Structures are given as structure tokens and as C-alpha cells.
Amino acid sequence: MSDLSAMIVGCGDVGGRLARQLQAQGWQVSGLRRSVSQLPEGVVPVAADLGQARIPDAWPQRAPDYLVYCVAASQHDEAGYQTAYVEGLRHVLGWLAERGQRPRRLLFVSSSSVFAQKDGEWIDETAATEPEGYSGRVMLEAEGLALASAIPASVVRLTGIYGPGREWLLSQVRQGYRVAETPPLYGNRIHAEDAASLLAFLLQADARGVALEDCYIGVDDDPAPLAEVVAWLREYMGVTQWSDEQRVRRTGSKRCSNARARALGWAPVYPSYKEGYAAILEGR
């Protein structure tokens, strides 16, 4: 058993998976979200609206050893992102200061949207961050807030998260989704369970005294062309019809590397889209 504790702010899909993984290691876990009825069993509930500056009534009196900021914007525009990622994080840091609490480390869950590369190049944590859209710009602002806090912090830039309940691509393939083959549109993805396992791995590494970097990319081993993924899914699912539409909305194309996380000892359970989507389709 462990006597370590973690507060997961934004304990939804990935946060809930993280909570269960930490609980399995004996951690005490608190989960903050608007609707605490959806928290995993055994997670200490903290009901709060991150848009409000007032400290939640259920905020713990004892400082959590670790704080994970893992929210998802409920409003998908610039104002919604500012509220969720910048203002929300500022409020949480203020609550910690109000109680005189200082966790050992803050993990801020960010996004690969901070990268604007689009020519299929390989990128790692040292690549330039020059986002063209508001989502990436707001994420960079929030990352800066986390890294400039009085708490040791690491940013984890997750790529396209998929898993049970995140099945947009499967739906599109069933409808005969078309995608251009040339030039290849490389996509980056990570199964939700692997996203959680990376966060858990980093927390456990820090608890053991391992020196963490200030940034990690969360991605599987196989950034593959979207056309290849679609072709594999069509065969696996037995889809033969084609839609008259070519529904390609993505223009970016890059290949993110997980070498830094792997060098630390982390490895994804689902190293490519094949293992991950097969598990979803087989109900695993």
C-alpha cells in the first residue's frame, strides 16, 4: 500500500482512468468535477465549477501530494478554452495558496495542438510551438501559468485521444469515410488508457525521486497516415461501401515522438492504432 495522495482536477474520462490506476497502487485520490456522481468508486468527491473563484467547500484540508490538472473544455471556442484552461488553473492555484498547500508536483495535461508543423516531419518536446489556432495558443498560455507556478510542474501534451466512447473515426468509416492518400496526412493518437498510464507513470516516477522533465508528449509508437488507418479499419470491420463525400477536415500532418517518455521507462499497452481499435471493436 501507498500513503500518497493525488487531486485530479477534471476527473472525467482520462482523469477517471488515472484515478483507478492510482487506486490500484494504493494511492488516495480526490476528484474534482461539476458532477461528482460520475466519479469512480472510492474517489473522494470535490464538487466545483472551475469558472468560479471561490474555493470549493469540499477542498481538502490536507495538501495533496500531487495535483493533476486534466480538464476538458465544455465550450469549444476561445472563451471556453480560456475559462477551462487558464482561468480554471489560476483558480486552483489560488485555492492552494489560500490553504497554504504546495503539492510535490503539478501535472498539467495539455495538447499537441501547440505544435503547428504540417509537413509530415517528426517532432519531439523541443520542437517549435507556434500554434495557428486559438486552442494551441490558449494551451501554451496555460502551460506557461503551470510552469511559472510555485509548484514543480510538468506539462504532458497528449495527442488524439481515442477509446471507448471516443469513436468518431469508427463512425465515419462505417459511413464510407474517404480520405486523401497523397500527400499523406499523418495523425497522432493515444488510447485513453495509455494516456492515463503515462500520467500515473510520471507521478510514480516523481514519487520515487526520479527527476522529471518539464514536458512530455503522450503518443503511441505509430503516427500513421490517416488513409492507412481508414483502410485497416475498413478491412477489419468489413466495410465495402464508399461515401460520395470526402470528409477530410484536417490540414496538419506531423509525427510526434514518444522517445522521451519511453526513455523514462513508460510503454503504451496499445502501441499502434491496430491494437487500440481492435480492443474497442472487440469490447475490451
Q: Kindly list the structural domains of the chain, giving each domain's residue range(s) and its CATH number in brackets, ordered by start.
A: 5-281 (3.40.50.720)
Q: Grid coordinates standing for 102?
A: 504546495
Mean pLDDT of 245-253: 64
The CA distance from 11 to 47, in Å, is 11
Of the listed ranges 65-69, 171-175, 208-212, the least confidently predicted one is 171-175
Angle of helix 88-98 versus helix 134-147 axis, rounded to 10: 20
Q: What pLDDT score was predicted for residue 75?
A: 87
- What digits encode the pLDDT tens for the residues 110-137? 999 999 999 999 999 999 999 989 999 9
Q: What pLDDT score was predicted for residue 76?
A: 86
Quick check: 109 and 199 in contact, CB under 8 A?
A: yes
Q: What pLDDT score was predicted for residue 146?
A: 98
Q: What pLDDT score was predicted for residue 251?
A: 62
In this prediction the pTM is 0.95
Angle at 136 between CA 101 and CA 17, to 5 degrees: 55
Q: What pLDDT score was predicted for residue 77?
A: 93
Q: What pLDDT score was predicted for residue 177?
A: 84
pLDDT of 2 over the 80 cut: no
Length of the chain: 284
pLDDT of 224 over the 70 cut: yes
- For residue 183, whether the previous peptide bond is cis, meaning omega lies within 30 degrees of 0, is yes
Q: What pLDDT score was predicted for residue 283?
A: 85
Quick check: 269 and 192 in contact, CB under 8 A?
A: no
Q: What is the mean pLDDT of the chain?
A: 94
Percent of the chain beyond pLDDT 90? 87
Output the furthest CA–CA distance in the chain (Å, rounded): 61
Q: Which residue has the cell 490536507?
A: 62
Q: What pLDDT score was predicted for residue 183?
A: 85
Confidence of residue 92 (pLDDT cuts 50, 70, 90): very high
Mean pLDDT of 213-232: 96
pLDDT of 249 over the 60 cut: no
pLDDT of 248 over the 60 cut: no
